[in-house]
């Protein structure tokens, strides 16, 4: 999920705690790999949700999103113009759709948070370019996640990649610190000015999560009180990793082990 309304400043983690978060993140990465392989025309978003919950619980984890402010699902499967926070349901994925799957795992009390946008069958050129630019913008943002940099360095790097590709970053939804809680300080915007924002110190763990729109970046809240979609109904993509700030550089925690 996106957000970030924590209190009291960033909470630094010890190397052992970061290892524990990586164990959580490895379960999440495997879960998303499984879901990516399952995405196909004819599959409902609720079926994906059930697969995700079974997988996470089978690995000894807990779905972090389930029950969060009353959210009913394990994943947020946001389709096409939906940006984030879609509720799983009877929607049947169709050829040419794109589905952004956001998921969180809590393992031994440590939360990991990751998302990726997945094509359903063959998708159009714009959708393909949008996913590619969003994935590349996340990689550019991660490169800036090192001690001594600031959150604005991440935002500026993300924004530059996105806008050079002709797309836009959502302003009203941001990345966030993550740890024992899903949303800690600092907020990590996907736009900004290099050299500004919160100082990134060794041991801070953040979820970097560009949310990128095909056209206008304005978003609206859906009638269910959860799903956020583009106002102009243009496509949206979302890629997210949980990343630790370490002395040796950024460490992506939401990756498979080994
Ligand atoms: Mg998040
Ligand atoms: Mg997320």
What is the per-residue pLDDT across 177-194, written as a single tens digit (0 to 9) for each?
A: 999 999 999 999 999 999
Ligand having the closest approach to the CA of 65: 2
Cα(188) to centroid of ligand 1, in Å?
A: 10
**Residues lining ligand 1 (ion), CB within 5 A?**
1-2, 113, 207, 209
What is the per-residue pLDDT across 119-164, written as a single tens digit (0 to 9) for each?
A: 999 999 999 999 999 999 999 999 999 999 999 999 999 999 999 9
Residue 12 to residue 200: CA distance in whole angstroms:
10
The position carrying tokens 């102009």 is: 232
For helices 45-58 and 15-38, give the axis angle rounded to 10 degrees.
Answer: 140
What is the per-residue pLDDT across 206-240, written as a single tens digit (0 to 9) for each?
A: 999 999 999 999 999 999 999 999 999 999 999 99
In DSSP terms, 84 is beta-bridged to 228
What is the per-residue pLDDT across 31-71, written as a single tens digit (0 to 9) for each?
A: 999 999 999 999 999 999 999 999 999 999 999 999 999 99
Can you give the pLDDT at residue 69? Answer: 95
What is the per-residue pLDDT across 79-122, written as a single tens digit (0 to 9) for each?
A: 999 999 999 999 999 999 999 999 999 999 999 999 999 999 99
Cα(89) to centroid of ligand 2, in Å?
A: 18
Average pLDDT over residues 159-171: 98
Can you give the pLDDT at residue 6? Answer: 46
How many other CB atoms are found less than 10 A from the CB of residue 72? Answer: 14
Ligand having the closest approach to the CA of 32: 2
Quickly state the pLDDT bin for 258 (edges 50, 70, 90): confident
Can you give the pLDDT at residue 3? Answer: 52
In DSSP terms, 110 is beta-bridged to 107
Report whether pLDDT(7) > 80. Answer: no
Q: Lowest mean pLDDT: which of 3-7, 12-16, 42-46, 229-233?
A: 3-7
In the chain, the domains with their CATH numbers are 15-252 (3.90.230.10)
Cα(104) to centroid of ligand 2, in Å?
A: 6
Cα(250) to centroid of ligand 1, in Å?
A: 17
Cα(41) to centroid of ligand 2, in Å?
A: 24
Is the pTM of the predicted complex or chain greater than 0.85?
yes
Cα(209) to centroid of ligand 2, in Å?
A: 7
Mean pLDDT of the chain: 96
Cα(199) to centroid of ligand 2, in Å?
A: 22
DSSP letter string, the chain: -------SS-----HHHHHHHHHHHHHHHHHHHHHHHH--TT-BHHHHHHHHHHHHHHTT-EESSTTGGG---SEEEEETTEEE-PPP-SPBP-TT-EEEEEEEEEETTEEEEEEEEEE-SS--HHHHHHHHHHHHHHHHHHHT-STT-BHHHHHHHHHHHHHHTT-EE-SS--EEE-SSSSSEEEEE-SS--TT-SSB--TT-EEEE--EEESS---EEE-TTSS-EEETT---EEE-BEEEEEETTEEEE-SS---
How many other CB atoms are found less than 10 A from the CB of residue 52? Answer: 27
Cα(233) to centroid of ligand 1, in Å?
A: 23
Average pLDDT over residues 187-204: 98
Ligand having the closest approach to the CA of 2: 1
Task: Give the closest residue to 78 by CA, choosing from 225, 237, 200.
Answer: 237
Can you give the pLDDT at residue 9? Answer: 87
């Amino acid at each position: 999920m996106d957000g970030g309304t924590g209190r009291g400043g960033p909470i630094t983690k010890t190397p052992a705690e970061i290892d524990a978060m990586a164990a959580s993140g490895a379960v999440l990465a495997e879960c998303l790999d499984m879901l990516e392989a399952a995405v196909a025309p004819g599959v409902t978003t609720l079926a994906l949700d059930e697969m995700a919950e079974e997988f996470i619980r089978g690995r000894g984890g807990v779905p972090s999103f389930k029950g969060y402010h009353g959210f009913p699902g394990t994943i947020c499967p946001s389709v096409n113009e939906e940006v984030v926070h879609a509720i799983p349901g009877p929607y049947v994925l169709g050829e040419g759709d794109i589905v952004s799957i956001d998921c969180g795992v809590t393992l031994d009390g440590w939360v990991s948070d990751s998302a990726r946008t997945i094509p359903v069958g063959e998708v159009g050129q714009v959708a393909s370019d949008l996913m590619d630019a969003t994935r590349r913008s996340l990689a550019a943002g991660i490169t800036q996640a090192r001690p001594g940099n600031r959150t604005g360095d991440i935002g500026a790097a993300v924004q530059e990649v996105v806008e050079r590709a002709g797309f836009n970053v959502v302003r009203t939804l941001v990345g966030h610190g993550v740890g024992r809680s899903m949303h800690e300080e600092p907020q990590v915007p996907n736009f900004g000015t290099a050299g500004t924002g919160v100082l990134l110190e060794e041991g801070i763990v953040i979820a970097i999560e560009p949310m990128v729109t095909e056209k206008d970046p304005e978003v609206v809240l859906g009638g269910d009180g959860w799903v956020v979609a583009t106002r102009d109904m243009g496509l949206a993509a979302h890629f997210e990793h949980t990343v630790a700030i370490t002395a040796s550089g950024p460490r992506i925690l939401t990756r498979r082990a080994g």
